[in-house]
Amino acid sequence: MQQQASAPAGAVFPLNPTREYPTLVRGAGIHVYDQDGKEYIDAIAGIAVALVGHGEQRVAETIGRQAGTLTYCISNIFSNRPAEDLARRLGALTPDTLQHFLFTSGGSEATEVAIKLARQYYLARGQERHVVIGRWQSYHGATLGALSATGHRGRRAKFEPLLLDFPHIEPNYCYRCPFGKTYPDCALECATALETAIQEAGPERVAAFIAEPIVGAAAGATVPPPEYFPIIREICDRYDVLFIADEVITGFGRTGQTFGMEHWSVTPDLMTMAKGISGGYAPLGAVAVSDRVWSVFAEQQVTFDHIFTYAANPLSATVGSAVLDILVADDLVQRSAARGEYLFAQAERWRKHAIVGDIRGRGLLLGVELVADRATKEPFPPEVGASARLAAHCFERGLVIYPGSGCVDGVQGDHFLLCPPLVVTEPQLDRIVELLDQALAATARELAAA
Ligand SMILES: Cc1ncc(COP(=O)(O)O)c(C=O)c1O
């Protein structure tokens, strides 16, 4: 047999065979360490996951206790205390009307559950609705249902033939308004576009609209204007369409509020969550279900025809409770708001680099869009790989950031995200800002030479 390049027998399948992946062996606070002892500042908390930092002993001890007690039970035969406790803790954080929780192992699964719940909710009401409307430049997960709702052309491209035919509306993106307008003289067409999309799809077919409160990876922390989500809520209500808020990145204090939707004082019908809910100490996600949806299942005694083997497993649920206890005890939501303000103030110094087009976000979710020409906002050609180059310069300096592409149209556009653990300190933020300052300068030089 012909010998293939790299990967020896029994190796972990590398996502990108051309890349070397340093092997991490340990984490502590905002730092992770590889097997050669190199220290990295994890300025993205894994990927918006390690809310309470790495190596948190309070969580580790809880895992040990639960592992020796009960680690697994199947959720269509048994309930378990840790899952019930976690649901109670979550209920103390979510709005009064979102008090019923289904558990998953992550964010994509949570999106799938939300889509299937919406479908069954309308079936129980005798309606054939099944269409979910999403937005361009969004991300809701990698599984096929979630990817169908996702609006990132680059991430969808190879899988298009497998995807469901869900419509997408233009995103809120004030830096490059898709309607060529300028807020506040714009009549919020990005929001009212939802009504047009519902009418085009046929109101009797539309089950839900899904949106991230602040778009994470797909667009680099784009924040809608104050009127945006109230208009979305009103349109959903008028057409009896469920509003799903994807809080997978924005949940649990990331943006300086417990949940991102609190910035707009709007309550969704279904709320998906994952990532920070377990701080990365176990795979965990959830869907918060409103009374409106729950009551139809309860009154009509409808079974939700769906199960994941690891849903509501006691070990992950215990971890969720331990992380939420720390979130509350250490006042991390408030800290995220305060440290976020500090980070945004310090980040202003990056504007001296001509490649910095826009700095946006809330709390400890900060996005920067890179541009070839600040005056015209012309993006770099995708083949230049501007954000990947920046990430490489950061990595050399021991700083991990999250580079992204496609914020303009799913293919063009470069940005990066910062979303450090909420336990980050001001001196640590200073260091992150300083290293990025150096990396931006190095990238600008390299791009100019290229
Ligand atoms: C907003 C959003 N929703 C859903 C997901 C999917 O979550 P997971 O990767 O845990 O399946 C992600 C992942 O990055 C996300 O950012």
CATH number of the domain that 415 lies in? 3.90.1150.10
Our measurement of the distance from residue 53's CA atom to the centroid of its chain's CA atoms, rounded to an integer in Å, reads 17
Measured from the Cα of 215, ligand 1's closest atom is 1
pLDDT tens track for 258-284: 999 999 999 999 999 999 999 999 999
pLDDT of residue 5: 56
Give the structural domain span for 249.
Answer: 59-329
Is any atom of ligand 1 closer than 6 Å to the C-beta of 251? no
What average pLDDT does the segment 406-426 reach?
Answer: 97
pLDDT at 310 > cutoff 70: yes
CA of 169 to the centre of ligand 1 (A): 20
Same domain, 316 and 353: no
Is 16 contained in some domain? no
Task: Inform me whether the pLDDT recorded for 1 exceeds 80.
Answer: no
What are the tens digits of pLDDT across the range 353-377? 999 999 999 999 999 999 999 999 9
Does residue 9 have a pLDDT over 90?
no
In this structure, what token pair is assigned to residue 426? 């001001």
The rounded Å distance from CA 249 to ligand 1 centre is 7
Whether ligand 1 lies within 6 angstroms of the CB of 213 is answered as no
From 329, 350, 382, give the residue that closes a domain: 329
Cβ(135) to ligand 1 under 6 A? no
Task: Classify residue 146: in a domain, yes or no.
Answer: yes
| pLDDT at 4 > cutoff 70 | no
Whether 405 shows a pLDDT value over 50: the answer reads: yes
Mutational test site, ligand 1, from 249, 252, 271, max ligand atoms within 8 Å of CB: 249
- Domain match, 171 and 38 both: no
**pLDDT score, position 174:** 97
* pLDDT exceeds 80 at position 341: yes
This prediction has a pTM of: 0.97
Ligand 1, residues 44, 51, 108, 284: which to mutate, most atoms within 8 A of Cβ?
108
- Cα–Cα distance for residue pair 404/367, rounded to 1 Å: 10
In this predicted model, what pLDDT tens digit does every residue of 198-227 receive, in sequence order? Answer: 999 999 999 999 999 999 999 999 999 999
Residue 94 located in a structural domain: yes
Residue 135 has pLDDT above 60, yes or no: yes
pLDDT-based confidence at 450, cuts 50/70/90?
Answer: confident
Ligand 1 atom closest to Cα of 138?
1
The pLDDT value given to residue 53: 98
Do both 51 and 197 map to the same domain?
no
Instruction: Answer yes or no: do 166 and 77 share one domain.
Output: yes
Cβ pair 149, 134 in contact under 8 A: yes
Residues 373 and 276 in one domain: no
φ, ψ dihedrals at 105, nearest 5°: -100, 0
> Is the C-beta atom of 106 inside 6 A of ligand 1?
yes
pLDDT interval class at 7 (50, 70, 90) = low
> Does ligand 1 have an atom closer than 6 angstroms to the CB of 112?
no
Q: Which of 329, 361, 389 is the endpoint of a domain?
A: 329
Rounded to the nearest angstrom, the distance between the alpha carbon of 438 and the centre of ligand 1 is 30
**What's the distance, CA 384 to chain centroid?**
26
Report the candidate in 408, 383, 377 with the shortest Cα–Cα distance to residue 219: 408
- How many domains is the chain partitioned into structurally? 2
* Pair (312, 396) in one structural domain: no
User: Would you say residue 6 lies in a domain?
Assistant: no
The answer to whether the beta carbons of residues 322 and 344 sit under 8 Å apart is: no
How remote is the CA of residue 352 from the centroid of ligand 1, in Å?
A: 33
Q: Is 218 in the same domain as 361?
A: no
- The answer to whether residue 439 is domain-embedded is yes
Task: Tell me: do 75 and 171 sit in the same domain.
Answer: yes
- The Cα–Cα gap between 450 and 444 comes to 10
Ligand 1 within 6 A of CB of 171: no
Residue 286 lies in a domain: yes
Task: Give 235 Cα–ligand 1 centroid separation in angstroms.
Answer: 26
Position 13 in a domain: no
Q: From ligand 1's centre to the CA of 311, what distance in Å?
A: 17
* Structure confidence by residue, pLDDT tens digits, 38-68: 999 999 999 999 999 999 999 999 999 999 9
389 and 426, same domain (yes or no): yes
Both 145 and 115 in one domain: the answer is yes
> Taking each helix axis from N to C terminus, what angle separates 314-329 and 57-67, rounded to the nearest 10 degrees?
150
Q: What average pLDDT score do residues 423-435 get?
A: 98
> Three-class SS string for the chain?
CCCCCCCCCCCCCCCCCCCCCCCEEEEEECEEEECCCCEEEECCHHHHCCCCCECCHHHHHHHHHHHCCCCCCCCCCCCCHHHHHHHHHHHHHCCCCEEEEEEECCHHHHHHHHHHHHHHHHHHCCCCCCEEEEECCCCCCCCHHHHHHCCCHHHHHHHHHHCCCCCEECCCCHHHCCCCCCCCCCCCHHHHHHHHHHHHHCHHHEEEEEECCCECCCCCCECCCCCHHHHHHHHHHHCCCEEEEECCCCCCCCCCCCCHHHHHCCCCCEEEECHHHCCCCCCCEEEEEEHHHHHHHHHCCCCCCCCCCCCCCHHHHHHHHHHHHHHHHCCHHHHHHHHHHHHHHHHHHHHHCCCEEEEEEECCEEEEEECCECCCCECCCHHHCHHHHHHHHHHHCCEECEEEECCCCCCCCEEEEECCCCCCCHHHHHHHHHHHHHHHHHHHHHHHHC
Interval between CA 49 and ligand 1 midpoint (Å): 10
Q: Is the CB of 247 under 6 A from ligand 1?
A: no
Is residue 284 domain-shared with residue 158, that is, in the same domain?
Answer: yes
Pair 110, 241 in one domain? yes
Residue nearest to atom 4 of ligand 1 (CA): 140
pLDDT at site 6: 58
Q: Which of 301, 329, 357 is the last residue of a domain?
A: 329
| Mutation probe of ligand 1 site: the residue of 111, 275, 277 with most atoms within 8 A of C-beta | 275
Q: Within a domain: residue 98?
A: yes
Which atom of ligand 1 approaches the CA of 106 most closely?
Answer: 10
Write down the pLDDT at residue 70.
97
Residue 3 has pLDDT above 50, yes or no: no
Residues whose CB is less than 8 angstroms from the CB of residue 20 and which lie 6 or more positions away in sequence, other chains included: none
Angle value at C-alpha 303, between 302 and 308, nearest 5 degrees:
155
Average pLDDT across the chain, whole number = 97
Confidence label for 2 from pLDDT (cuts 50, 70 and 90)? very low
User: Is residue 413's pLDDT more than 90?
Assistant: yes
Task: Evaluate: CB of 402 within 6 angstroms of ligand 1.
Answer: no
